Amino acid sequence: MFAAIAATLLWGASLPGADAYLAGHEAERAGRYAEAIQAYASCAERPGPLAAYARVKSAFCRAASGDYDGAIAAYRTLLGGSADGPWVRMAHAYLAGALITRKAYDDAAKEYAAALDFQPKPWWIQSHDRAAAGVFIECPAMRDKGYDFFRSVVTTTRLRTPRLEAAEQLAKSQVAADILVAAQGFIKTGEYKLALPLLLQTAPASSGWMAWLAGLGSKLKPPAEGELARIAALPKDGESAAWTREWLYYVARSQAAADNLPATQAACTCLVQRFPKADETCDAIWALAGRFAKAEKKAQAVEWYKRLDETNAEHSRADDALFAVMELQRGGKDIHMYVMACQRLAERHPYSALLGKAWYGVGLAHEKNGDAKAAADAFAEAAKQGPGDFYAHRALARLSNKDGRIVPVAGAVPLLRTMAVPAEPLPTLEPIVMESPRFRRIAFFAEHGLEEAEWEALALLPLLDKDPAAPALYAMLGNAGIAYSAMNIAEANKWGEDGAGKSTARLRILYPRAYWERVRSIAEADNIDPYLILAVARQESTFRPALTSFAGAAGVMQLMPATAKYLAKAESDFEPEIASNLVDPVYSLRMGARYLKRMIERSDGNVAYALASYNAGPGNCSKWRKQFGNAPLESFIESIPFTETREYVKTVLANYAAYLSLYDSR
């Protein structure tokens, strides 16, 4: 069976030179590059599946030590050989990095092109794509390709830091269209002072309004009603249309930030009239409606939220807007308006991730109103949203038919129930395939949290779409710990999807048994459910060992360094070095599981309290238990004052329910 084979390979396989490779990695991590080079060279001398990677890493350490020319020569020698393999892309990317230090941008661009010419792109490759785009900008022949990347980041990402970085790059362009996209990026990020000079720089020469434009949109000098009327004279088509759109967007967003609602509304009205399908239009409306809601102007907020959906139902905020309408209608005297808002959301956005919460809210409203039949119907709709939706599992617990098992959160209290999914056996692979060098390398690298596993897995891309082995390959990647990349690739390929939703195999990609044999062993030793450990790890890092939060939490279980040091001292069976290497998946899983166990003990076995403690600290949770502890558990969760912790608890519990639904404790 696949599980048994994977266990042997992932946790019991021994590769020639493995000890030397790990010694090189440890020395490299500590900045002892001469020692690392020697260890990698020792590994490379032993023929086997690690030798080529050892040569790549040896060259990398030469560059890290300052010997860029030696590193460049070593990379070129390796790439000039007859051998081929997944390490070649890694070597091209690393060589490009070394060439950048010598300002050999044309050569670096060629190396990046060789390294990154594939689709679909997993999450981790974005850092290399970003570096490559920066190099392309330095090469006249490839400049457009570089700016294309940064334009895409500005217009697609919701993440502040990469959007800001991309806008800064585009602002250096000499092309007006690029500068306007940079302005859009700054506006989206709330950096209005950075956007204004770019808009003035690209203003149509015929406007003749430079002094007026410089004041319009400023937080310090809101535009007067007469000045807003002049917006009607702004260009609405031709070459100046893009500038007009960004200028109106700037006015809307900056004035919303200044709580100047008349000015914001005037700009949004113009945007709707002139650019109804533009992302900027819907983003500006979202800001305006939110400000009306904050000002407790409910009717205006509802009007503009609905207008966002009516303007562009395909916008990423459209379902959010209709859900916001529901929230504004909640608790009103007319339950009909609340139900209608939910039905509108369901009709216009049948695949919205908010439907579970929306229907569950309707069920509660009907229940409060004494209509048990309508409440049960609404809960049944919520339950249709599938595994991993907190409110779907919560709705199942409220339905009278009692399908599914109680998720063990607080003893026999049925907070959540598992749901039935179509039965599909776990995939299998022939032993001879699993014993190939490719899979053994992936297993070795992933177990130790090394990025080499990700480079290695790229060789599987052609097989991860229509190939008959795809189910087993996805399972192998998930079990090995390369779970987030597997999720990205499956999403790009729409693998395991049809008109009825996602197959069980696809759902198992979303909820993989990452590092499974290690997790099971740790769980058994600590007497904790392995699926609860996976539920936490999925939310904390999506199983990415090198992930570090802005606050400094690191590793698969995202422990703070101070917490890790405390545990290393407090737990007698922990080695002293365990706290110093949180990027090692096994170390992170051991420490995270132990910390979770201690939080469960502190919480008298209540998993919801334990998760709140894991995320916000036990002191905060103790305070909330004193404040809300007598309330039903659902009310306690919804009353947690920290938004991040409140959503964290619900998401991890939903993950837990999904795992128990998909694997049934197998």
The CATH number of residue 96's host domain is 1.25.40.10
Nearest-5° angle of CA 558, CA 561, CA 562? 125
Phi, psi dihedrals of residue 126, rounded to the nearest 5°: -60, -35
Q: What is the pLDDT of residue 7?
A: 39
Domain that holds residue 30: 2-155
Q: Which of 450, 497, 507, 431 is nearest to 475 (CA)?
A: 507
Q: What is the pLDDT of residue 432?
A: 41
Last residue of a domain, one of 155, 180, 214: 155
Q: Are residues 604 and 619 in the same domain?
A: yes
Q: What is the CATH number of the domain that holds 628?
A: 1.10.530.10
Q: Are residues 553 and 658 in the same domain?
A: yes
Examine residue 455 and state whether it is found in any structural domain, yes or no.
Answer: yes
Examine residue 197 and state whether it is found in any structural domain, yes or no.
Answer: no
Q: What is the pLDDT of residue 64?
A: 97
Q: Are residues 25 and 117 in the same domain?
A: yes
CA 645 – CA 610 distance, rounded (Å): 11
Q: Are residues 459 and 585 in the same domain?
A: no
pLDDT in tens, 600-617: 999 999 999 999 999 999
Q: Are residues 502 and 457 in the same domain?
A: yes
Q: What is the pLDDT of residue 206?
A: 59
Q: Are residues 14 and 106 in the same domain?
A: yes
Last residue of a domain, one of 310, 336, 357: 310
Q: Are residues 100 and 122 in the same domain?
A: yes
Q: Are residues 392 and 250 in the same domain?
A: no
Examine residue 59 and state whether it is found in any structural domain, yes or no.
Answer: yes
Q: Are residues 281 and 330 in the same domain?
A: no
Examine residue 9 and state whether it is found in any structural domain, yes or no.
Answer: yes
Examine residue 411 and state whether it is found in any structural domain, yes or no.
Answer: no
SS (H, E, C) 444-481: HHHHCCCCHHHHHHHHHHHHCCCCCCHHHHHHHHHHHC
Low-confidence ranges of the chain (pLDDT < 70): 1-13, 82-83, 205-236, 429-435, 665-666
**C-beta separation of 198 from 233 below 8 A:** no
For 321-356, the DSSP string reads: HHHHHHHHHTT-S-HHHHHHHHHHHHHH-TT-TTHH
CA-based torsion, 287, 288, 290, 294: positive or negative: positive
Examine residue 218 and state whether it is found in any structural domain, yes or no.
Answer: no
Examine residue 225 and state whether it is found in any structural domain, yes or no.
Answer: no
Q: Are residues 7 and 122 in the same domain?
A: yes
Q: How many domains does the chain have?
A: 5
Q: What is the pLDDT of residue 532?
A: 98
Examine residue 181 and state whether it is found in any structural domain, yes or no.
Answer: no
What is the DSSP code (8-state) at residue 118?
Answer: -
540 catalytically annotated:
yes
Of 452, 540, 571, 638, the active-site residue reads 540
**C-beta separation of 169 from 194 below 8 A:** no
> pTM of this prediction?
0.92
Last residue of a domain, one of 250, 276, 310: 310
Q: Are residues 539 and 557 in the same domain?
A: yes
Q: What is the pLDDT of residue 82?
A: 60
Q: Are residues 291 and 389 in the same domain?
A: no
